[in-house]
Structure formats: structure tokens, C-alpha cells
Amino acid sequence: RILILDFGSQVTQLIARRVRESGVYCEVIPFNADPARVRDFDPRGIILSGGPASVTASDTPRAPDVAFDLGVPVLGICYGMQTICAQLGGQVDPSDHQEFGRAYVDVTDDCGLFEGLWSSGERHQVWMSHGDRVVNLPEGFRIVGTSDGAPYAMVANDERKIYGVQFHPEVMHTPDGAKLLSNFTHKVVGCGGDWTMAAFRQQAIEQIRAQVGSGRVVCGLSGGVDSSVAAVLIHEAIGDQLTCIFVDHGLLRQDEATQVVDLFRDHYNIPLIHRDASDLFLGKLEGVSDPETKRKIIGGTFIDVFDEEAKSLGGADFLAQGTLYPDVIESVSFTGGPSVTIKSHHNVGGLPERMKMKLVEPLRELFKDEVRELGRELGLPESLIGRHPFPGPGLAIRIPGDITREKCEILRKADAVYLDEIRKAGLYDAIWQAFAVLLPVKTVGVMGDGRSYDYVCALRAVTSTDGMTADSYPFDHEFLSGAATRIINEVRGINRVVYDVTSKPPGTIEWE
């Protein structure tokens, strides 16, 4: 196990991902967490992340002494390296030469950190982002690499196994970065690399059994990857003590409800309540066109219906949720300013408070790609695992303006045709998310000999790695006109198709 102490870098989570990709379990905690937590975690190695502060200022973050007292290997990255130098007796100064972006390090000496990977005399591309620089090393340390802006770009104390790199090995732009981190976890720390999803599965099953005992668990299924994986894993652990509740709000994609029911009830034999609540949801949404109001109505109604169904079961002791690590990771924020609500995504966030049940969250240590891996391990179909994300409020936020059953029907058909074209062109996996939007605008067209006056359909497809930023997918024109022709021919109610080429930012992925 490796412990990562976070000093607030934007990319600390990437360190954790790289470490886990090397087959080693790790967790991230804030640099100022209670030192007892560091000890209790019993790390075999510690990584100090980068951060936005300057060690040259007096009251900026320092690593807890326990990080050095434990005597385990330590790797400092950027700010982490500077604070090692400052805390162990070296000196760090503000520099007039800042280095941001691509840079090169010259390896000047061999050391344990990059043994078998880099050798003295070589030059390697790295990603730098720093203003300060180390000017004097603590006792026992030596320079093992330099760069134009940082004469102390890599430092080492092989005896204490403490290393520092001024660059960021966790980002993609440091081509050998992942190998370097894996060298640290395997060669320096000596971890075995046996953190696999097969091992996690067994461990998680035991934990679920220990937590739940003979209690009853309910789990809300959405048809998405996270809740599906959580449900199958929990079912494997406790069998029919688990009941899944699938609240169908009538805003799902074509055939989605049947697919969920077929897979869980028929294939996995998991007790499943399928509540068709479309009348209730669509009734409450009637005449509502404000996006945030739509979200609130859907979130609130979802909780009501879920609660009702859980009660009809005679109550339950636990609520299972597909919470992931990025939702629970305690990040350090130095900006502190008020954050602006762009969209209230946590549409069912009130559920646990309302239901007063204990939570079972077997995925809370995993990143999204690890959840997918676990899904494969559990034998979930690839079509579900590789599925594009779908928002909780569903089609409601893809129909700007008021929502009617008729509009939902039109949009569902157009969306199905569009995705069918994408699959046929072999593009589904290259795209992060693709969907159709039904605009509340009618335009004139000619159909056969007659005039038509129908809705406009917008197509959206984006590439992204986390949904935080996105680019519109560069379809070729032939694909787009082919999809447009099919939609207009096959979907009554649409006579014009446009393609959305907005990136995020400034746009968002969804239209509302």
C-alpha cells in the first residue's frame, strides 16, 4: 500500500491512478490529515504530491514528520520535492526562471528511482510546472538530474530511499512518467503488483458480508455502469438479501427499461422491482421548461418513489450506492472562493439523508476505469460496460422547453437511429458521449410534394476523458448527411437536423 499526501495539485488523482495501474493499492489523504491516519494506513511507501503553494512563504503546507519518521521510501513530486528539501535542511528559493509545460531533464547520475529505466547521460522529455527551485540540498542528498530551469530537477538519497522530482511523472506529457512511478512502487518500495480486480472482487465480497450480516439491502438501478456493477457485486456477496429498485421515470432511451429488466431479473436472477412511474414524472414536469426546476422535480420525485418502493418491501437496513473514489476523495483546496453551481448534478443526492439507512458503497475506492474492469471481471456484457454516460434526469434535459410524451417519443427514435449509425460506422467507442436533442423549434421543409412543418433535431457527439472538458467529434460530412437523411425519413415529427460543434468550455455537453 502506498499513501499519497495531497498538497492540492490539480493532478493528484492522476498519481493515484498511475500507482494503481502499476498493480499497487493506494489512497490519497490531505497533507494535514491527522498523523495517526498516516500511521494507521501502514504505508509501505509515501508520495508527496505537487501543489500550488510556495515553500518559500512561511506558513505554507509541510509534510507531517511521520512521513519521514516511518522510515519508508518517499517520493516528492514538484511541491512535494521542494518541501522535502526545505524540511530536511536544504534551501528553496523563488526563481526568476519559471518553467511551465514541456521540458527536458538530463540524467546526471544513476539512482534507485530510475534504475533499469533511465541512465546517466540520457535526456528525457518531462512536464514541468513550477516557479520555485531548490538551491541547496539537505545532507545525504545528491543531484541526479537537471533541467534548464531547475538545476536540481531530480534528487536522491538512496540510503533513506527518499527521492524528489521537480517534474510531474503522473501526467501523460511525461512519456516515461508511468514507468517511473511503477519503478518507485515496485523496485524502490518493493510492492508486488497484485492489486487486481480479481483480488478486489474477493476482498469486496468479504467486506460486504461483514458489513451487512443478515440485513436487507436495497439498491437503485439506473442502467448505468456504476449501479449495475455495484448490484452484481453485492448480489454475489449476499444473494437475495439484495433487492434492486429500478425507478423508470419515462425519460429513458429506446428499449433501455427492457434491457435493464432482462439483464438483472432474468439473466442474473436478482430480485428487481421495476416501477413504471412515467405518468407521475411526466405529470409533474408538465409545462416546466426551466432546466434547474426540471432537475429538482425529477430528483425529488425519484426519492419519493424509491422510498415508497423500499417501504413496500417492509423496509431495508442498507442502501447500496455506486459511489466512486473521485466523489469521496478529500481534495485540498487553496482557492477557497465560492464555487458556482453550473448545474445541480447530484440529482438524487438527498436519498441517504431521507431514508436514514446505512450505506453500502463497495465501489468507493475505485476509479471509473477500475469499475469497468471489475464489471468485466463479474461478466457484465461489454455493451453495458462500454456504454456512454447518461444523465440522471435523462431525456428531460435533452428537450429544451416543456416536455411531452410525444416529444420524448420523437427524440427516442431519432436518438436510436443516430446511435445505430454511429455503431455501424464503428465510431461508438471513439466517442465519449453521443445523443440527439429535440429543439422546441419548428421549421418548414418539403416532403414529397407537400410542405412540412416539424421539429429540428440537433446531434451532439463529444470526445472527453472525464466529462470536465470536451471537444465536438469531427464526423465527416458523409456520415452526418447519412444520419440526417435516415432520421428525417424514419422519424415522423423531425424535418431538419443540425450538428453541434461547440466544445466544453464554453459549452456544456448536455444542452441544459
Contacting residues for 445 by C-beta, under 8 A, at least 6 apart: 451, 452, 453, 454, 488, 495, 496
> Per-residue string for binding with ligand XMP, 427-456, x by CB under 6 A?
------x-----------------------
Is residue 300 a contact residue for ligand XMP (CB under 6 A)? Answer: no
Give the nearest distance from C-beta 469 to ligand XMP in angstroms: 9
Q: Is 340 annotated to bind ligand?
A: no
Q: Is 228 annotated to bind ligand?
A: yes
CB of 177 or CB of 220, closer to ligand XMP: 220
Give the nearest distance from C-beta 29 to ligand XMP in angstroms: 27
Distance CA(101)–CA(146), nearest Å, equals: 16
Q: Is 22 annotated to bind ligand?
A: no
Is residue 149 a contact residue for ligand XMP (CB under 6 A)? Answer: no
Distance CA(314)–CA(384), nearest Å, equals: 31
Q: Which stretch binds ligand XMP (CB under 6 A): 134-142, 168-176, 340-348, 487-495?
A: 340-348
**Cis peptide bond N-terminal to 474, omega within 30:** no
Q: Is 9 annotated to bind ligand?
A: no
Distance CA(171)–CA(12), nearest Å, equals: 10
SS3 of the chain: helix, strand, coil, percent, to 5:
35, 25, 40
Q: Which stretch binds ligand XMP (CB under 6 A): 121-129, 235-243, 343-351, 438-446?
A: 343-351
CB of 184 or CB of 306, closer to ligand XMP: 306
Distance CA(447)–CA(356), nearest Å, equals: 57
List the one residue from 39, 267, 311, 345 that touches ligand XMP (CB under 6 A). Answer: 345
CB of 80 or CB of 391, closer to ligand XMP: 391
Is residue 503 a contact residue for ligand XMP (CB under 6 A)? Answer: no
* Residue 503 in grid coordinates: 466544445
- Give the footprint of ligand XMP on residues 2-41 (CB under 6 A): none
Q: Is residue 59 exposed (0-12), middle (13-18) or buried (19+ Cβ within 10 Å)?
A: exposed
Cα–Cα distances in angstroms (integers) from residue 127 to residues 20, 102, 123, in the given order: 21, 5, 13
CB of 62 or CB of 504, closer to ligand XMP: 504
Is residue 326 a contact residue for ligand XMP (CB under 6 A)? Answer: no
- Give the footprint of ligand XMP on residues 178-217 (CB under 6 A): none
Would strands 123-136 and 91-107 be described as parallel, antiparallel, or unpaired?
antiparallel
Nearest Cα neighbor of 75 from 193, 146, 174, 170 is 170
Give the nearest distance from C-beta 508 to ligand XMP in angstroms: 3
Tell me the Ramachandran region of residue 377: left when phi exceeds 0, alpha when psi lies from -120 to 50, beta otherwise.
alpha
> Per-residue string for binding with ligand XMP, 372-401, x by CB under 6 A?
-----------------x-xxx--------
Give the nearest distance from C-beta 357 to ligand XMP in angstroms: 21
Is residue 508 a contact residue for ligand XMP (CB under 6 A)? Answer: yes
Is residue 145 a contact residue for ligand XMP (CB under 6 A)? Answer: no
Q: Is 110 annotated to bind ligand?
A: no
Is residue 347 a contact residue for ligand XMP (CB under 6 A)? Answer: yes
Give the nearest distance from C-beta 230 to ligand XMP in angstroms: 15
Q: Is 327 annotated to bind ligand?
A: no
Residues that bind ligand XMP (rule: CB under 6 A) add up to a total of 14
Distance CA(471)–CA(503), nearest Å, equals: 4
CB of 236 or CB of 510, closer to ligand XMP: 510
Nearest Cα neighbor of 174 from 125, 103, 106 is 125
Give the nearest distance from C-beta 346 to ligand XMP in angstroms: 8
Distance CA(307)–CA(301), nearest Å, equals: 10
Indicate which residues carry an active-site annotation.
Answer: 78, 168, 170
List the one residue from 131, 467, 482, 493 that touches ligand XMP (CB under 6 A). Answer: 467
Contact 393, 253 (CB under 8 A): no
Long-range contacts at 439-445 (CB < 8 A, ≥ 24 apart): 439/400, 440/399, 440/400, 440/401, 440/402, 443/495, 443/496, 444/495, 445/488, 445/495, 445/496
* Residue 248 in grid coordinates: 423508470
List the one residue from 158, 402, 409, 510 that touches ligand XMP (CB under 6 A). Answer: 510
Is residue 295 a contact residue for ligand XMP (CB under 6 A)? Answer: yes
Give the nearest distance from C-beta 422 to ligand XMP in angstroms: 16
Dmax (CA) for the chain in angstroms is 88
Is residue 509 a contact residue for ligand XMP (CB under 6 A)? Answer: yes
CB of 131 or CB of 467, closer to ligand XMP: 467
Query: Distance of alpha carbon 246 from its chain centroid, rounded?
Result: 23
CB of 210 or CB of 468, closer to ligand XMP: 468
User: Residue 106 pairs with which residues in a beta bridge?
Assistant: 123, 146
Q: Is 224 annotated to bind ligand?
A: yes
DSSP code per residue over 256-304: HHHHHHIIIIIIS---EEEEE-HHHHHHHHTT---HHHHHHHHHHHHHH
Q: Which stretch binds ligand XMP (CB under 6 A): 262-270, 272-280, 304-312, 341-349?
A: 341-349
Query: Where is the binding site for ATP, in residues?
Result: 222-228
> Which positions make up the binding site?
222-228
Q: Which residues bind ligand XMP (CB under 6 A)?
A: 295, 343, 345, 347, 389, 391-393, 433, 467, 504, 508-510
